[in-house]
Structure 1
């Protein structure tokens, strides 16, 4: 039986995918005290990268969708590490990287695709500190990569 958080996600039409394995020499998550540190999750859905450079071949709405997918992939890592999404007490921090043209300045709007989903699912506990940074390139040419720090019970 799914918990409250998974029921909320299901009501939004979201099923939590299986967590992806690392593609290099790192671990997907680290637990330190009551915090779960989640390695960068890229914009991949159903095994296919959501690619694009914002301001060149992707617009803000496409970027927001890519960031939302990163959040869904973060949910997958939380579930894999903690066994239950209902253990989340607070989303503490997101660090977001947006594959951007040099003159693209709407990284915060793009990252709202993830931030909005965390708040929609967790309410006030989903409100978090955040960085939204434009970068020249990301792995696999993806549009967005986001890492997270989660406090859990």
Structure 2
């Protein structure tokens, strides 16, 4: 990793309701912007497992997560000292199978299910918005996956 560039891992929570794709967004703790669950990598934890942990800690979600990122986006992360640092976020699809009533950050965030179009409008990061809309097009069958490659496999992630 180059000095100055940071990488985070994120889960993009989704579900199907009556065949319609829905995306779950949460608010960030400080600015209250709509975001997806994300966090820093941890030593000896596979990236997809860490992304699933973030979905559990930040949104109380359990489900199946892709083993490979579906895409990535970039944003400027405000650090504790107030400085801004470019950050890349690797995004893993997260098929939500259960929502918990109690989770670590439930008093710090709001969460909301949205249509892909609502979610794309709610997030500030343009490349995340584009990624959400691309996934919606793939789900709707109006666009093939990038490079006609198979979608990353989903696995059941164990969260402790």
What TM-score results when the alignment is normalised by the length of structure 1? 0.29
Higher relative contact order (CA 8 A, sep 6+): 1
> Which of the pair is proportionally richer in helix?
1
> Which of the pair is proportionally richer in strand?
2
